[in-house]
Structure 1
Amino acid sequence: MTNNINLKFPHLLLLMVLWGNPPPSRANVYGGYGPEVQATPNIQALVNKHIGDIYTLLPMGVFQGLPPMPVFRAVSYRMQIVAGTNYLIKVNIGYNRFIDVIIFKDLSNNSRVTNIRF
């Protein structure tokens, strides 16, 4: 007796195989950012190192009419491992406002701000 599988509809076989496996959670997506965790002193130091770059990327007038700017405070962060590390850092900029700062740190430990999101 031979076990011949009729593959007239191979896409159905694929669906049956995949049906039992739930999609990965956001935290487990390969190549994606990991889970959000509380910021550490090292993350705050990384933000402090690039405070000038962050100021230049902020739109003009973001603090218009407000008192002098307080120190930026890192609240939480997520990491993405690439050819180095991307840090997606949630930063409290005062006045109940938050921004996301993306800082890339390469394998030689050099870092730079790559993006800011509101």
Structure 2
Amino acid sequence: MMLGGLTPTKAATPEIQQLADEVKPQLEARENRSFPIFTAVEYRTQVVAGTNYFIKIDVGHGVYVHVRIFEPLPCNDTEVSLTSYQTGKKANDPLDYFG
């Protein structure tokens, strides 16, 4: 992997689901709607001054959301945050970098 590049896509783990669940309220507030189904499917990471997580989330009815979550270094003592997201994704849409 190139420094600052994305890791290969991996299947979501319970830890990734927990990260997704942490930012779910932020996404719901930005979208002004709730997501009864919110299942992390796969993810990629990027090491920066902390870690960016790119996560594909199944929100039901064949619709997916791609979220970018930033987890700062432990020494910064700050929370994980929803940095960006993309709606209207499908199951076969690749999980690539987005700003």
TM (normalized to structure 2)? 0.76
1:3-42 superposed matches below 5 A: 28-42=1-15
The number of residue pairs the alignment matches comes to 84
Q: Aligned pair in 2 of structure 1 residues 83, 69: CA closer, same or farther (>3 Å)?
A: closer
CA-based RMSD: 1.8
Worse overlay, 106-115 or 30-39 = 106-115
Q: Could you tell me which residue of structure 2 aligns to residue 93 of structure 1? A: 59
Q: Could you tell me which residue of structure 2 aligns to residue 70 of structure 1? A: 36
**Counterpart of 1:32 in structure 2: which amino acid?**
G
Residue aligned with 1:99, SS: strand
> Is residue 115 from structure 1 mapped to residue 81 from structure 2 by the alignment?
no
Gaps of 5+ in 2: 88-99
Q: Aligned pair in 2 of structure 1 residues 79, 69: CA closer, same or farther (>3 Å)?
A: closer
Alpha-carbon separation, structure 2, partners of 1:46 and 1:30: 23
Alpha-carbon separation, structure 2, partners of 1:70 and 1:82: 32
Cα displacement (A) at 1:29: 3.1
Flag the structure with larger Rg: 1
Gaps of 5+ in 1: 1-27
> Is residue 105 from structure 1 mapped to residue 71 from structure 2 by the alignment?
yes
Alpha-carbon separation, structure 2, partners of 1:44 and 1:51: 10
TM (normalized to structure 1)? 0.64
Alpha-carbon separation, structure 1, partners of 2:48 and 2:35: 33
Q: Which has the higher contact order (CA 8 A, sep 6+)?
A: 2
Runs of 4 or more above 4 Å deviation: none
